[in-house]
């Protein structure tokens, strides 16, 4: 389930390229002053992170919290006039956070010395009441101007004003309205997410005369599929000097000098970068601003902060008893070995897919066998067992997918069968057969969903993991679909499902089997009944029947095979012959057609 190195590198290099090409102008400042000119005014530095997803421990290229704090220390020593901000999705994503419902990350962020943060959609994964509890543990404000309670009041403080070397900086928070469906709906019951741009206009007007500099911290992002983006907000709302962005995991190497002279900055994901924005303020106005990113290579000589490293280690030690907590029992070994989970249906794969489908209430669940990293021995199941099986913190995503793309996904997953493939699908709510004698892309048949034959044109709700949803493991057919919902981490769902009594299968449930496509014999032509013998007295003139009018071919000159069809019955319906259909569709065996198959018809 961890993205392969080439996949990550491709995304990373693409993001850096786009960032460097599209944002070079930002490095020149906002007043036309060249980068080499000596800036006037007071120098203020903003350090920023976003979408850290609880990556507490270093794992290259992820720097971890101690190294990030070391970078903060370095910049603060060079310029004491420094603010540190986080643009959301910090307190959820790995067992380090989820085992204690986010409190571990809050404790570390307090030690790192942040000045403010905004709640991202994943901050709500423990429920909004828990998020309020976490915000009260923070030693700095959690800001959001557009999250409203049922009575219309703000759930969090909408903004704060920080004074740095006599310069008043107004910091406004914005949360994505997509939170209403990018966390479980039950997590945000009773809340509404107002239009960020509408709220921004009100607060920017309110801050005029109160603040010299206005900084937005928004978990909005820049995805084209999103409606409320940072780009849209700064275009509609003048007066924002800097927008610290998150949510889309965008890497902006030198920031983006956007509409209304706003500098947008974003630092990727998972502690791979720390963002740095430098401002020069003269006479109460920003005269120059620059943005850059610091990664592990640039920070190679910077030491991790010892206090944060020690705190992370102590929290991990505190969590050891939690990892030993009992989740349930299994009478048999739950099979998650690499050699089986990547080549065949396993009972552990069935259990995980069932948990995913249950928490999301989806028609189908599908996850990649390569994301299952261990087996669970017969006996007591502990939280530590689950974390070992699912160590990556991947999230459950719901998509609305056509039956045609469900089949395409299954074909992708079994393309190397019976050889090992990380993308081999473990499924729930769907069953199918594999004909390994067929070429890749034509092996899957007899697909059933909810006890009925899959309809290629119908739309099904699919629960999958966030890696696959964006095309990981070659599931590219999913990447065109927008998320219809998010339902927390895989490990959380599996723990919850077992605890509430979800069935632990003793053996694979027969959802994926091997077998040739069923043989459908063409119907023999029926001889015409003989004409009755003429009466001897009166010669009978036999009327000639009118020739049968063939049914006109449907649009696109194709026919989708239904249960009970044969090439012969289809040929009668459309005024052709079964041999002609066999030849036109390159069907080797005229008896082998199956429900859902598309048959070309003569023009």
Q: Judge whether residue 109 has pLDDT over 80.
A: yes
Give the per-residue pLDDT at 530.
Answer: 59
Mind listing the domains of the chain with CATH numbers? 16-318 (3.60.21.10), 327-514 (3.90.780.10), 555-600 (3.10.350.10)
Burial of 163: CB neighbours in 10 Å, binned 0-12, 13-18, 19+: exposed
Give the per-residue pLDDT at 577.
Answer: 78
Cβ–Cβ < 8 Å for 381, 326: yes
Give the per-residue pLDDT at 571.
Answer: 76
Pairing of strands 242-245, 213-219: parallel
Q: How far apart are CA 352 and CA 364, in angstroms?
A: 12
3-state secondary structure of 214: strand
CA angle 246, 249, 251 (to 5 degrees): 100
Q: How many CB atoms lie within 10 A of CB 12?
A: 17
Token look-up 């996904």 returns 409
Q: How far apart are CA 285 and CA 266, in angstroms?
A: 23
| Helix residue ranges, H only, 390-523 | 403-413, 466-469, 490-499
* Higher local confidence (pLDDT), 191 or 2: 191
pLDDT in tens, 13-65: 344 333 333 333 333 333 333 344 668 899 999 999 999 999 999 999 999 99
Give the per-residue pLDDT at 458.
Answer: 97
3-state secondary structure of 497: helix
Number of C-alpha atoms within 13 angstroms, CB side, residue 115?
Answer: 23
Q: How far apart are CA 380 and CA 169, in angstroms?
A: 55
Cβ neighbours for 69, distance < 8 A, ≥ 6 positions apart: 111, 112, 113, 304, 305, 307, 308
Q: Judge whether residue 291 has pLDDT over 60.
A: yes
pTM for the model: 0.73
Cis peptide before 525 (omega within 30 of 0): no
What six digits make up the tokens of 377?
Answer: 């021995």
Average pLDDT, the chain: 88
Q: Judge whether residue 11 has pLDDT over 70.
A: no
Could you tell me which of 224, 244, 118, 233 has the C-alpha nearest to residue 179?
118
Confidence of residue 533 (pLDDT cuts 50, 70, 90): low
Give the per-residue pLDDT at 550.
Answer: 52
Q: What stretches of 6-158 adopt beta strand conformation (E)?
A: 42-49, 82-86, 116-117, 147-149
Give the per-residue pLDDT at 195.
Answer: 97
Q: What is the rounded average pLDDT of the residues 246-272?
A: 96
Cis peptide before 61 (omega within 30 of 0): yes
């Amino acid at each position: 389930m961890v993205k392969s190195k080439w996949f990550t590198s491709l995304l990373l290099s693409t993001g850096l390229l786009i960032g460097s090409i599209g944002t070079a102008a930002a490095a020149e400042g906002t007043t036309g002053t060249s980068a080499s000119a000596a800036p006037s005014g007071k120098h203020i530095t903003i350090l920023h992170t976003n979408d850290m997803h609880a990556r507490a421990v270093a794992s290259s290229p992820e720097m971890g919290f101690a190294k990030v704090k070391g970078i903060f220390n370095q910049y603060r020593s060079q310029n004491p006039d420094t603010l540190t901000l986080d643009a959301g999705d910090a307190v959820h994503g790995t067992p380090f956070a989820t085992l204690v419902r986010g409190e571990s990350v809050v404790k570390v962020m307090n030690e790192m010395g942040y000045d403010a943060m905004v709640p991202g959609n994943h901050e709500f994964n423990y429920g909004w009441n828990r998020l309020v509890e976490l915000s009260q543990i923070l030693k700095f404000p959690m800001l959001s101007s557009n999250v409203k309670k049922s009575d219309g009041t703000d759930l969090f403080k909408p903004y704060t004003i920080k004074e740095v070397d006599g310069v008043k900086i107004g910091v406004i928070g914005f949360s994505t309205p997509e939170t209403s469906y990018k966390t479980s709906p039950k997590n945000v019951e009773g809340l509404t997410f107002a239009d960020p741009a509408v709220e921004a206009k009100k607060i920017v007007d309110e801050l005029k005369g109160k603040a010299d500099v206005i900084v937005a911290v928004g978990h909005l992002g820049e995805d084209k599929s999103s409606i409320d983006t940072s780009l849209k907000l700064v275009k509609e709302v003048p007066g924002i000097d800097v927008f610290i962005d998150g949510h889309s995991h965008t890497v902006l190497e030198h920031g983006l000098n956007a509409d209304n002279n706003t500098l947008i900055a974003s630092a990727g994901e998972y502690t791979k970068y720390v963002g740095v924005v430098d401002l020069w303020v003269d006479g109460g106005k920003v005269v120059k601003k620059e943005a850059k990113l610091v990664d592990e290579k640039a920070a190679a000589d910077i030491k991790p902060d010892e206090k944060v490293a020690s705190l992370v280690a102590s929290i991990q030690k505190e969590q050891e008893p939690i990892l030993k907590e009992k989740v349930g029992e299994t009478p048999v070994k739950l099979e998650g070995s690499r050699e089986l989970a990547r080549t065949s249906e396993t009972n552990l794969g069935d259990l995980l897919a069932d948990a995913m489908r249950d928490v999301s209430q989806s028609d189908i669940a599908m996850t990649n066998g390569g994301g299952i990293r261990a087996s669970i021995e017969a006996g007591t199941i502990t939280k530590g067992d689950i974390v070992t099986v699912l160590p990556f913190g991947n999230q459950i995503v719901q998509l609305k997918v056509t039956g045609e793309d469900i089949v395409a996904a299954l074909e992708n997953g079994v393309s190397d069968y019976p050889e090992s493939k990380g993308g081999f699908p473990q499924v729930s709510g769907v069953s199918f057969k594999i004909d390994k004698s067929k070429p890749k892309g034509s092996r899957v048949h007899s697909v059933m969903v909810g006890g009925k034959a899959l309809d290629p044109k119908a739309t099904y709700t699919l629960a999958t993991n966030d890696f696959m949803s964006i095309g990981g493991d070659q599931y590219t057919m999913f990447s065109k679909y927008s998320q219809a919902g998010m339902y927390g981490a895989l490990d959380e769902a599996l723990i919850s499902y077992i605890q509430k009594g979800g069935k632990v299968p003793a053996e694979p449930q027969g959802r994926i089997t091997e077998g040739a496509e069923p043989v459908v014999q063409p119907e023999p032509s029926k001889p015409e009944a003989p004409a009755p013998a003429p009466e001897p007295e009166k010669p009978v003139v036999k009327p000639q029947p009118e020739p049968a009018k063939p049914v006109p071919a449907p649009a696109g000159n194709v026919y989708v095979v239904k249960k009970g069809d044969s090439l012969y019955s289809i040929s009668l319906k459309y005024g052709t012959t079964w041999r002609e259909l066999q030849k036109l569709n390159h069907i080797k065996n005229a008896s082998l057609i199956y429900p859902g198959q598309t048959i070309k018809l003569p023009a």
